[in-house]
Amino acid sequence: MESSNRRIVHMDLDSFFVSVERKLNPDLIGKPVIIGGTSGRGVVSSCSYEARKYGVHSAMPGARARQLCPHGIFIKGNMQVYSENSRLVTQIIEDAAPLVEKASIDEHYLDVTGMDKYICDSFTWTKQLRQKIIKESGLPISFGLSTNKLVSKIATTESKPNGELFIEPGKEKAFLAPMDVNKIPGVGDKTYITLCNLGLRKIETIQNMSIEKMQSHFGEYGKSIWLRANGISDSAVETHWDQKSMSTERTFHTDTNDKRFLKELLVKMVEELGFDLRRSEKG
């Protein structure tokens, strides 16, 4: 099928953990809410847009978040409750869409290619689904719609919070052109610095380069960057996937060099992981 005929939706629940907490306690609405980071060694797992204004972001140490936003409301979080809400949203989406990929606890890809012929145009259909999710789950959600997963995901980010954006076929490059190169998925801090040092600060500058020139600077990775900068992607919506890894972890509240304690903890963690592997029929 021609790529221009594809219709791929990316849906992402806005500040998911925070939104769930606000659903349970409306008094938190409009306030700087920070999930995680409640202990001395804890890290932020999510935060509201009000907290982000102060520079708080996910994966930040809780101590740093308190420095930046001392009046923030810190909540430990409840993964069981978040998972229940995630399953509710997933069920609503799967009941409506023909092909769904659950990319994470709060985001989904939908392949709605060809639905225009049978129901209504894909943008109207997705808008209606979004409203259904908001009504039935009580959670805000945003989406991006385009001809591929890459552009749709970026469109979702640009539509947040609680928005929707349709990038029409053939307009992918124009949509991406004015953005900073760090908006390209996969471009981390080091690559961003290298691109800037080469004078490539805007995606448009990469679009105007040849793919061979990008490869001369970055090898095969340069080809990947060039394709993404031009909004080119043929990744399919995967309805099934195999888990690649399993892990377990512990966060210490204080440093320790107690070898006996560390050894006992390590043995316990290995036993826990082994149990999970056997339960999943992986070991």
Task: Provide the annotated active-site residues.
Answer: 107
- Contact between 6 and 111 (Cβ < 8 Å): yes
Number of other CB atoms surrounding residue 75 within 10 Å: 19
CA atoms within 13 A on the CB side of 196: 9
Structure tokens that stand for 232 in this block: 């080119």
Using CA atoms, how far residue 235 sits from 111, 135, 157, 175, in Å, is: 11, 31, 19, 19
Nearest residue to 15 (alpha-carbon basis) of 141, 126, 133: 141
Closest to 128 in 3D by CA, of 52, 67, 115: 115
Token pair for 4 = 């221009």
